[in-house]
Structure 1
């Protein structure tokens, strides 16, 4: 049936970093991938269709770079990637800086809106830089018990 596809969700190996970099370039997402990041990927028919990074930064986990190839958006792949992040997010306090229209999406994984005063300094700077570029992002926090 048209529209049916099988999605494989898995943790990336170092050999897949180039494919993730290509996906990010296609999406015009410019953040660099650190080899220490944990990447959770989605593949369909052997093709990388989505990725998300979990970055250890200054004692917290930051969920970054959730990107889904445009032809695969709105098919639940982002939700599958976010679900696959749950075990990693439960290890310590986690943050994300999503677009404001995605608050409900991230809330489903236990993230809650966070006041700037409750953010680590590096995230305050990142949040302000994104919003200075008119990106309309918000800060969200998830405690280890979240989700």
Structure 2
């Protein structure tokens, strides 16, 4: 049975291992809110909520391959909603995931609505061939 909850500091090493396994290189800041999905104690997935330059940025949604296509990502996203409701939030998902994030109230963001640091990050990701878009949750 999958359980979804906020990770403790002692669980962040497992999340870092999941990120490394997935090829996701961003480091976890101790100030990040990390929501995890566990199956009988085994880490199935994770997502981070980071405060960056006064806004919330949803980052690092990763689900282990053995647990994909089981609705875990949607459950992790739903668990983020109370934190996302606190202030304007952004994410930079792959373009094919727009509908997934729209279900949580994110909408495509115009460049004029993006903080400069996110424009730069999006442009770097796209220059690396990642095909991401910017989304905003007002």
Give the TM-score of the pair, scaled to structure 1.
Answer: 0.93
Q: Which has the larger radius of gyration?
A: 1
Counterpart mapping for 1:1-147 below 5 A: 6-143=1-138
Structure 1 unaligned residues grouped into runs of 5+: 1-5
1:3 aligns to what?
none
Unpaired runs of 5+ residues, structure 2, are none
TM-score after normalising by structure 2: 0.99
In structure 1, what is the Cα distance between the partners aligned to 2:126 and 2:20? 21
Number of residue pairs aligned between Structure 1 and Structure 2: 138
Q: Runs of at least 4 residues of structure 1 off by over 3 A?
A: none
Q: CA RMSD in A?
A: 0.4
Deviations 1:44-70 (A, max 9, x none): 011001000000000100000000000
